[in-house]
Amino acid sequence: MSYMARKSFWISCSVLFLLTACYYDNEEELYPDTGGPRSNISYSKDVEPLIRNNCYVCHSDAARLGNVILEGYPKLILYVNDGSLLGSITHDSRWTAMPSGSARLPQSQIDIVRIWIEEGAKNN
């Protein structure tokens, strides 16, 4: 390669590198907010019904499969604090994937639980 050809080759490489380095996926732009609750999530209005519908069949005071009870805030908060509530529904390999025997919850529902926890898992 001539000196000029090598020079323009390296210039193209740097331009390409700069272009890719500056490119990033903006989550907000790729997945625009579809109107689900994004903050101020309530335990009683949002989280409790979600857990009731998906989990009480196996984790109520009466069912207690795996000795896990998620019914009511005082019980649920124990699984928030040890990380297993979010870990199990996000299928984090450190925990048994939940709900057991069914598909992963829709992302919008996982987000409700995640944001509620991020906002302090309040008994509101």
Would you state the structure tokens that stand for residue 70, as one six-digit string?
A: 């998620």
Radius of gyration of the chain, Cα coordinates, nearest whole angstrom: 23
User: In angstroms, what is the minimal distance from the CB of 55 to ligand HEC?
Assistant: 3
Question: By CB under 6 A, what part of segment 49-108 binds ligand HEC?
Answer: 54-55, 57-59, 65-66, 68, 70, 79, 84-85, 88-89, 95-96, 98-101, 105
Pick from 111, 56, 74, 73: nearest CA to 89: 111
Does 12 bind ligand HEC (CB under 6 A)? Our answer is no
What are 78-83's contacts with CB under 8 Å, separation 24+? 80/117, 80/121
Interacting residues toward ligand HEC by CB under 6 A: 54-55, 57-59, 65-66, 68, 70, 79, 84-85, 88-89, 95-96, 98-101, 105
